[in-house]
Structure 1
Amino acid sequence: MAKQVHIRVDDDIYKELSDYSVVSGQSMQDCLSVAIRQMLVKAKEEPSQDCNGYTFIDLFAGIGGMRLAFESAGGCCVYSNEWNKYSQQTYYANFGVQPDGDITKVQAESIPDHDILVAGFPCQPFSIAGVSKKNSLGRATGFEDKTQGTLFFDVCRILKAKRPKAFMLENVKNLCSHDKGRTFQIIQESLRELNYKVFFQIIDGKGYVPQHRERIVIVGFDKERYGENVSFSFDLHPLKKQPVVRDILEKEVSEKYTLSDKLWIYLQNYAAKHREAGNGFGYGIAPLDGVTRTISARYYKDGSEILIEQRGKNPRRLTPRECARLQGFPDSFKIPVSDTQAYRQFGNSVVVPLMSDVAKLIVAKLEQLDTDPQIEIAFSNIPQRKVI
């Protein structure tokens, strides 16, 4: 629940604040909120301590699912970036850190050195036309030509500038088939052009939570440091007992989550219409002893993809806490935003225990590589390049 605070500022500060509001595209209220959060973070900052684990940065951080995953693997986050103000609010409430804003305006060189780059980057269309034209003319194209104008380009330019030991990227399963596979082809080419050994796999989160959620995970290791012969396997260890929907349900749920008669009738009619047309569109009643469909950022609209049956009344949608559990967030995770924003945030997030498992595999591989005397000797003989 937002509170109102009235403040007075001098004319010169008001002018600067007004100008900055226009440049940043944010309201003056949002600018002040960010400034106050940053001031509070600064005020309670502890003296910097040596990190015993690998350092990582959290790009397109959302509400911090990836951060939880890599911290569980012993990692230390040294930088986070997320543009959405509501996600920033949730991130701050849980980690005491105000993520940096628009990644496209961040100089790569200003980002702290780190061992692992972590990013759940959004998938945007890549322009194939310019690349095809250059190829027809016999001209070489680089990742800057192929990915400019997409947020994946920002991942590439940070990899180029900071040269972390490894990276982990996450995206929707359909990334592989987007634009007849050409988008994913460009992504692989760009990462390999940066001299990283790339591995990827589509993984379903249902072995860790009661939700069918397939995502592609892309992992890479620096060939300039570790050489060409790096191997990596997604040797995951899901739970021995399959989690089921009833495991995540709250015992007492407010009536506000029960569907209204009007909405429930609409959903039933909508499903019937599509059944007659021969397709499977419609609402989904989650089996209590099974797994749900994939929760999405649109869950706030009507909750139709995951409904819980109720005896003697209309079904209900999941509560925000149940959505958090469905993604594997601990109950200690704070939800400071409205239900609408919470549904969007958890729908956009990751299955935390699955990503924790992958994070541990990456850390274990780095520990193996970094203690290999042959790699250490080879790396020490390579002239360290200067990034311009």
Structure 2
Amino acid sequence: MFTFIDVFAGIGGFRRGCELTGGVCVWSCEKDKFVRPAYASNFDVADHEFAEDIEDVDPKSIPDHDVLLAGFPCQPFSTAGKREGFAHETQGTLFFDLVEIIREKQPAAFLLENVKGLLGHNSGITMFTIMRVLDDLGYRVYPKVIDADGFVPQHRERVYLAGVRDGIDLGWHELMGPWNAFEAPQQGSLQLRHILEPHDQVPDKYTLSDRFMAGLRTHKANQAAKGNSFSYRVFRSNEVAGTLTASYAKSGQSILIHQGRDRNPRKLTPRECARLMGYPEHFKIPVSDSQAYKQFGNSVVPPLIRAIVDAMLTWHYRE
């Protein structure tokens, strides 16, 4: 058994993946007033603190833990050339609060996640700062971009930073860290047919109207005439979807589902989004459709997190 904390918890994608490997959550934190009920509906928060605002948390009050998990927001970092320590370069960002926890609690390992664009953000300065700060804290950090395709029927590239504290031997190869042991399913092994409801069981409200479809076609043509790219993508059941984003409620044309030649395509239902992200059928969705789309679009993929944590931790953290 090992313990972990769930920072910027969202709806619990990190937590579910880690619990599947035998981990026990001892502290979690999430600020969004719509996300907190979703998290509390699916995980037991009665036996540990479920903090709200990370900026109000004293790191000393957080329980000791083996692993820190966080999908941290990417905020602007200082571009100062002088090396004056993490407080100078990350002050005013939520990453600073995360670093404070790591510095105070010194977990054996951590797993951080962010969008792939983090690698090139601010001409690479942001990523350079993050890596240097974590190194200064005494951690060896191993970044890797992973596509969730195979774990779920969705192309979803994200960057993961796996870190281990100096002096801790988790059996990682010095160059590749846990990624030597990481095993991913064959891409394309899961298709949309594995998560879609039968069309006759999907409420009509998810089918796009003729007016909406005409607007999409017109907008695409207008953008093409200007030399701009705009597309709506209609997927069939034997395909792998594109990336589910937090803006799906407003821009659902990114993943439309084919319903035959005589019917307009439709959006995914919230339950289908849950499946697309790798959540089980019993996962509760106690919010509106628009909030559900946002929450699943912001989530990590639990089966992928499970595989990463399995690769990170050796037998001495298991019962």
If the length of structure 2 is used for normalisation, what is the TM-score?
Answer: 0.92
- Taking the aligned partners of 1:295 and 1:229, their CA distance within structure 2 comes to 32
For the pair 1:256 / 2:256, whether they are aligned, the reply is: no
Letter in 2 for 1:246: R
1:382 aligned residue = none
Conservation of the 8 A alpha-carbon contact between 1:73 and 1:363? no
Task: Report the structure, 1 or 2, having the larger helix content.
Answer: 1
2:85 alignment partner, one of 142, 145, 149: 142
What are the within-5 Å matches in structure 2 for residues 108-187 of structure 1? 108-128=59-79, 131-132=80-81, 135=82, 140-187=83-130
2:292 aligned residue = 342
CA positional deviation for 1:274: 2.5
Give the match's secondary structure for 2:149.
helix
1:329 alignment partner, one of 279, 283, 289: 279
What are the within-5 Å matches in structure 2 for residues 233-382 of structure 1? 233-234=178-179, 235-240=181-186, 242-251=189-198, 252-311=201-260, 312-364=262-314, 367=316
Conservation of the 8 A alpha-carbon contact between 1:221 and 1:230? no
How many residues matched? 308
For the pair 1:85 / 2:33, whether they are aligned, the reply is: yes
CA positional deviation for 1:287: 3.1
- Taking the aligned partners of 1:286 and 1:309, their CA distance within structure 2 comes to 6
Conservation of the 8 A alpha-carbon contact between 1:296 and 1:347? yes
Letter in 2 for 1:153: F
Letter in 2 for 1:338: S
Conservation of the 8 A alpha-carbon contact between 2:170 and 2:312? no
Residues 361 and 83 (structure 1), Cα distance of their counterparts in 2 relative to 1, 3 Å cut: same
Residues 284 and 162 (structure 1), Cα distance of their counterparts in 2 relative to 1, 3 Å cut: same
For the pair 1:218 / 2:161, whether they are aligned, the reply is: yes
- Taking the aligned partners of 1:72 and 1:227, their CA distance within structure 2 comes to 19
Give the match's secondary structure for 2:233.
coil
CA positional deviation for 1:229: 8.2
CA positional deviation for 1:238: 2.5
- Taking the aligned partners of 2:171 and 2:74, their CA distance within structure 1 comes to 28
- Taking the aligned partners of 1:215 and 1:114, their CA distance within structure 2 comes to 25
Conservation of the 8 A alpha-carbon contact between 1:54 and 1:363? no
The one-character-per-residue Cα deviations of 1:205-244 (angstroms, maximum 9, x if unpaired) are 0121111100000011010444998631313323346101
Q: In terms of Rg, which structure is larger? A: 1
Q: Which has the higher contact order (CA 8 A, sep 6+)?
A: 2
1:13 aligned residue = none
- Taking the aligned partners of 2:67 and 2:178, their CA distance within structure 1 comes to 17
What are the within-5 Å matches in structure 2 for residues 63-74 of structure 1? 63-74=11-22
Conservation of the 8 A alpha-carbon contact between 1:236 and 1:357? yes
- Taking the aligned partners of 1:337 and 1:352, their CA distance within structure 2 comes to 20
Conservation of the 8 A alpha-carbon contact between 2:170 and 2:313? no
Unaligned runs of 5+ in 1: 1-52, 371-388
1:6 aligned residue = none
Unaligned runs of 5+ in 2: none
Letter in 1 for 2:52: G
Letter in 2 for 1:85: K
The one-character-per-residue Cα deviations of 1:324-382 (angstroms, maximum 9, x if unpaired) are 11111111111111101000000000111111100111122x738x9xxxxxxxxxxxx
Give the match's secondary structure for 2:257.
strand
The one-character-per-residue Cα deviations of 1:116-172 (angstroms, maximum 9, x if unpaired) are 0000001011121xx22xx2xxxx411111111111111100000001000000000
Give the match's secondary structure for 2:113.
strand
The one-character-per-residue Cα deviations of 1:85-131 (angstroms, maximum 9, x if unpaired) are 11101001101327311101100000111000000001011121xx2
Superposed CA RMSD in Å reads 1.9
Give the match's secondary structure for 1:208.
coil
Conservation of the 8 A alpha-carbon contact between 1:197 and 1:228? no
For the pair 1:54 / 2:2, whether they are aligned, the reply is: yes
